[in-house]
Amino acid sequence: MCLEETSHPGRPGTSELVPSRYALRVGEIDVLMVSDGVLPLPAATLASNADPADLAAWLDDLLLPPDVYKWPLNAVVVRSGGRTVLIDAGIGVEYPDFPRSGQLALRLDAAGIDPASVTDVVLTHMHFDHVGGLLADELRGRLRPDLPVHLAAAEAEFWASPDFSRASMPPPVQEKIRSVAGRFLDEYRSQLRPFEAEYEVAPGVVVRRTGGHTPGHSVVRLASGGDRLTFSGDAVFPDHFDRPDWYNAFDHDPEEAVRVRVRLLRELAATREPLVASHLPFPAVGRVAVAGDVFRWVPAIWEY
Ligand SMILES: [Zn+2]
């Protein structure tokens, strides 16, 4: 069996062997995790400040190759109080070399979610793997033309004239990231609904700015009845449970990103609140435990 070929991205969604969606409930709120696919990136992007031998050992512990790490990429659909909120939008067609990504529109269709029914978009931040889907015809042409897009004011301001001096991205990636964010601002400017610190987009669905990964990076906190759930966007990558001190190459302020990450992981470990994230392996639903000085990811047991 080849682990690479267990699904067939590119075919109509209903024929995919792996549906790549996972539903859960948080009190009265419906949550659907949707995989946009995977991004094969140089493994060094996981940890730009790591000793290469430490990163190689971490990958080898997981029986993964040393050179490429396939970043999982997930978006979320949340339904609460009559609103249907799309949180992040995948990579779209921005990286045609990554044929296993950009699947969001197809997988929304397969899940029976009509893009015209989306009442709000929330962006954790404006990197291409989170806004690219909004620029692709497949999704864009089917969204309401006046669809409000909620994001931190600091995020929209940053990308009007971005400063990459503290990030470790290679220059071609910087250029790509800048151009996608610029196009997004041009095309969606009239639909942007910036917030300062936080905004309740639907009952029990609060998007809150954290900064760190990008200046306006935000997480989404859900609360209904006694239930809670946090979507951490890019605050936490798969290596960060073991090595919360590792800088992701896309962290614009890596030191602040570490502070944001550790604060969030400590809080989630203390409260045992479930976590979902952009770049944890699909369906990216689990909890955080403390493991000595660091943390441990405890995947949820599938309920189906
Ligand atoms: Zn990302």
**CA of 137 relative to ligand 1 center, distance in Å:** 21
Sheet holding 120-122, edge to edge: 21-26, 29-42, 68-80, 83-87, 120-122, 149-152, 192-195
**CA of 2 relative to ligand 1 center, distance in Å:** 27
Tell me the mean pLDDT in the region 259-276: 98
Tell me the mean pLDDT in the region 169-189: 93
**CA of 127 relative to ligand 1 center, distance in Å:** 6
Q: What is the pLDDT of residue 300?
A: 96
**CA of 91 relative to ligand 1 center, distance in Å:** 9
pLDDT band at 173 (very low <50, low <70, confident <90, very high): confident
**CA of 187 relative to ligand 1 center, distance in Å:** 21
Classify the phi-psi angles of 198: left when phi > 0, otherwise alpha if psi is within -120 to 50, otherwise beta: beta
Q: What is the pLDDT of residue 19?
A: 84
pLDDT band at 18 (very low <50, low <70, confident <90, very high): confident
- The DSSP letter of residue 198 is E
Cα separation of 119 and 256, whole Å? 32
**CA of 112 relative to ligand 1 center, distance in Å:** 25
**CA of 232 relative to ligand 1 center, distance in Å:** 11
Contact status, residue 105 vs residue 66, Cβ threshold 8 Å? no
Tell me the mean pLDDT in the region 154-175: 89
**CA of 247 relative to ligand 1 center, distance in Å:** 14
Buried b (16+ CB within 10 A) or exposed e, 117-144: ebbbbbbbbbbbbbbbbbbbebbbeebe
The answer on pLDDT for 6 being more than 60 is: no
pLDDT digits (tens, 9 = 90+) for 185-223: 999 999 999 999 999 999 999 999 999 999 999 999 999
pLDDT digits (tens, 9 = 90+) for 58-107: 999 999 999 999 999 999 999 999 999 999 999 999 888 888 899 999 99
CA angle, residues 301, 234, 173, in degrees to nearest 5: 130
The answer on pLDDT for 15 being more than 80 is: no
